[in-house]
Amino acid sequence: MNINWEQQTVVLTGAYGGLGRELAAQIYQKGGKLILLGRNQQRLRELQDSLGAGVDIFVGDVSDSENNQQLLHMLQTEASPQRMLINNAAINPTGFLQSHKADEIKQVLDINLLAPILLSQQLLPWLKQAQSAQIINIGSSFGAIGYPGFSSYCASKFGLRGFTQALGRELSDSVVRTQYLAPRAMATGINSEAVDHLNHQLKNAVDAPAEVAQQILKAIEKKQAEKFFGWPEKLFIKINALLPNVVSKAIRKDQSTIKSLLNNEVKP
């Protein structure tokens, strides 16, 4: 079934971040009914007010099972024939592994990986009641290329990619389809000042959230199971899958720059 945005109810996590705001605005312009998720009520309210009628908000932590049960109860009144969950919320604290405390690493995995898994699981009954439904997991090019200074983030996005593929195969005989859609670097608040400097020094392309949101919605409409955005990142991903040592050598040339900006180790 083709997507008719006017018949679509979309649950969007990470709604008030840079990419989240753009996804919300563009889905709203297409006529979709939005339910925006986040932990900051004021920021959700501000986004809701900026969009208009047909937008609901839900405040809470998407890694909390009890919280998600309340969301599921709220969704029982949403009877749209087409339904969608977009797992967009993510954090990206950069730095070499030894610079992070254990609870910081756990938080990355909780928000970027565990929360999408749990929320997908708990919303499946609601999604399966639709005529057609999709689970969209927003990944990253670092979900296919391990990059120094982003070890926990890469682990979470590699995991999200595997989860998306496995769940899609589990649901192949249902109305629910899964998609893993992976942008490259974006100009959003998720980036630290060090990451911005790194991208500038290495001349890495950085996309505007509005442009990425547009690409994501096109991929959603085409129901592409997996798509990576950006060139030459797409090429590096293919090379990394076949010849990872080639990519390792290319990254090693930038190791001194990466270390100077990202490697702030915690001293014992």
pLDDT, tens digit, 9 for 90 and up, residues 52-79: 888 999 998 877 878 888 899 889 888 8
Per-residue pLDDT of 192-215, as tens digits, reads 666 666 767 766 667 799 999 999
Look at residue 63 in the predicted model and tell me its pLDDT: 77
Q: Which pLDDT does position 206 carry in this prediction? A: 74
Asked whether the beta carbons of 68 and 123 are under 8 A apart, the reply is yes
Looking at 16, 28, 147, 153, which residue is catalytic? 153
Q: CA-based Rg of the chain, rounded to a whole angstrom?
A: 19
Q: What is the pTM of this model?
A: 0.92
| Distance separating alpha carbons of residues 110 and 66, to the nearest angstrom | 15
Residue 230 lies in a domain: yes
CATH code (residue 179): 3.40.50.720
Asked if the structure places residue 208 within a domain, the reply is yes
Q: Which residue has the tokens 């998306």?
A: 164
Q: What is the pLDDT of residues 1-46, one digit of tens each?
A: 789 999 999 999 999 989 999 999 999 999 999 999 999 999 999 9
Residue 70 covered by a domain: yes
Please name which of 173, 7, 158, 152 lies closest in space to residue 91, comparing C-alpha atoms.
152
> In terms of residue numbers, what domain contains 205?
5-262
Our answer to whether residue 153 is catalytic in this structure is yes
Contacts of 105 (CB under 8 A, 6+ apart): 97, 152
Q: What is the pLDDT of residue 266?
A: 41
Beta carbons of 126 and 147 less than 8 angstroms apart: no
Residue 37 belongs to a domain: yes
pLDDT tens-digit map of 103-123: 999 999 999 999 999 999 999
Domain count, the chain: 1
Asked, for residue 267, whether it belongs to a domain, the answer is: no
268 part of a folded domain: no
Other beta carbons within 10 Å of 243: 11
Mean pLDDT of the chain, nearest integer: 90
Q: In the numeric block, which tokens belong to residue 137?
A: 């997991």
Has residue 47 been placed in a domain?
yes
Q: Is residue 99 part of a domain?
A: yes
Higher pLDDT, 265 or 169: 169
